[in-house]
Copies of this chain bind each other. A is one copy, B any other.
Amino acid sequence: MRRLTAIALMAALSSGAFAQEALWGKAPVVSPEIHADGTVTFRIEAAKAGKVQLTGDFLPVKQVDTPNGTFTVRPPAEMKRSADGIWEYTTADALAPELYSYSFVVDSMRTLDLANVYVSRDVSTLNNIFIIPGERASLYTVHDVPHGNVAKVWYHSDALGTDRRMTVYTPPGYDSSETRYPVLYLLHGMGGDENAWSELGRTAYILDNLIASGKATPMIVVMPNGNVSQTAAPGETADGFTVPTLQRPKTMEGTFEAAFPEIVSYVDRTYRTIPEKHSRAIAGLSMGGFHSLHISKQYPDVFDYIGLFSAAIDHYTEHSEVYDDFEGKLARQFAAKPALYWIGIGKTDFLYQSNEKFRKHLDSKGYPYTYYENEDGHIWRNWRIYLTEFVPQLFR
């Protein structure tokens, strides 16, 4: 073991800051610490700081008035300095099972918890994450069940004249069978990319767990990149390590929607799919809900299951043939009787009213749909929830 320790020490020394801990032999800070009673303690060492705060999506909400209207925010919590310059905060109550994100603010400077290597990127913001297991959140964690594979796949788009990347989940057993599977096309929102659903949405874990418990039909999930100005996620293109931006050109102007059949065609050609309407679903969040709405009515014979998650119903920016004849296309889509037209939205979502208006319109036409309403607004927590609600209803 002496030799092993030498390798370990040298490897530690080869990374800058880690070296100091190895050399000085300091015990690392434990953070976050999830206690048996469900409360959570956060810690950060900042010996010289005058004020340290915790921000997180589990903290209590507060209404804030701004020139743009009243918004719900979660003010940071004050942390307390304890021994050895370590600042601590323990939640007052047990946290409900959920995937949470957080960061620290040290003397007004935001910083991550470097004791926790689990970080997610939402557009240009990095946050630490942790999961309180149990209930629905158990679907977001890894269990000892058969796992599907997740691949980053490049396909050629004739419509856009370039190779583009998508993320593809194939269900457990795909590589060792000849079985054909139905396909869910799952679309991200503004500022997202082909990584969003697998990383922030935890799609592979959700699918693995729902399939293992028999609550979902084994299926392929295809997560394309819905920004036609982009071939792949930031950092994965020849543009280099750019700063990810929320608003990109050409996101809701018809190009992606019109070109969607080539994605379906590629998937049917490349994977063992069941290439028929009854075995295809399309769903998306926010801008991806908008895309799903328009793609599904543009191609009424292609998708039998449609999911609109906090959908940006009528937010197109330019004229496109895709958006023409809204009524006629919707009529043809519903005349073909989709197996499921599912709408989910949170009560405080800023898109609640446009969704309500759309639902009333569907009601007025007698077009059947399934509606799911819950708390909170335009956040990933809800989109994970909607995925867990939607997927069990597919391909039954």
A-side residues, CB < 8 A to B, are 1, 3-19, 23, 28, 44-50, 55-57, 66, 68, 71, 73-74, 76, 101-103, 105-112, 114-119, 121-127, 129-131, 133, 141-144, 146-154, 163, 165, 172, 175-176, 189-191, 234-238, 240-241, 243-244, 246-247, 252, 270, 286-287, 312, 315, 317, 350, 377-379
Contacts and interface: CB of A to CB of B under 8 A. Distances in A.
Contact of A126 (B112, B141, B142, B286): B112
A71 B241 contact: no
Contact of A110 (B12, B114, B131, B235): B114
A48 B50 contact: yes
Contacts of A103: 16-17
A109 to B, nearest CB: 5
A212 to B, nearest CB: 12
Contacts of A19: 71, 73
Nearest to A143: B238
A15 B45 contact: no
Contacts of A105: 17
A325 B129 CA distance: 49
Contact of A247 (B8, B102, B122, B133): B8
B350 A10 contact: yes
A26 B17 CA distance: 30
The list of the 7 closest CB pairs from A to B, nearest first, reads A151-B151, A48-B107, A111-B111, A16-B55, A147-B154, A18-B125, A10-B350
Contacts of A23: 66
A244 B148 CA distance: 23
User: Most B CB atoms within 10 A — which of A28, A116, A147?
Assistant: A147
B107 A46 contact: yes
A122 B18 CA distance: 10
Contacts of A234: 117
Contacts of A241: 116, 118, 129-131
B44 A238 contact: no
Contacts of A130: 241
B73 A240 contact: no
A186 to B, nearest CB: 17
A112 B112 contact: yes
A110 B49 contact: no
Nearest to A170: B151
Nearest to A54: B16
A42 to B, nearest CB: 14
Contact of A117 (B28, B107, B124): B124
B11 A190 contact: yes
A146 B238 CA distance: 12
Contacts of A44: 109
A125 B15 contact: yes
B152 A150 contact: yes
Contacts of A13: 71, 73
A110 B229 CA distance: 36
A381 to B, nearest CB: 9
Contacts of A124: 18, 117
Contacts of A47: 107-109
A110 to B, nearest CB: 5
A117 B121 contact: yes
B142 A237 contact: yes
Contacts of A7: 190, 286-287, 312, 315
A281 to B, nearest CB: 22
B49 A315 contact: no
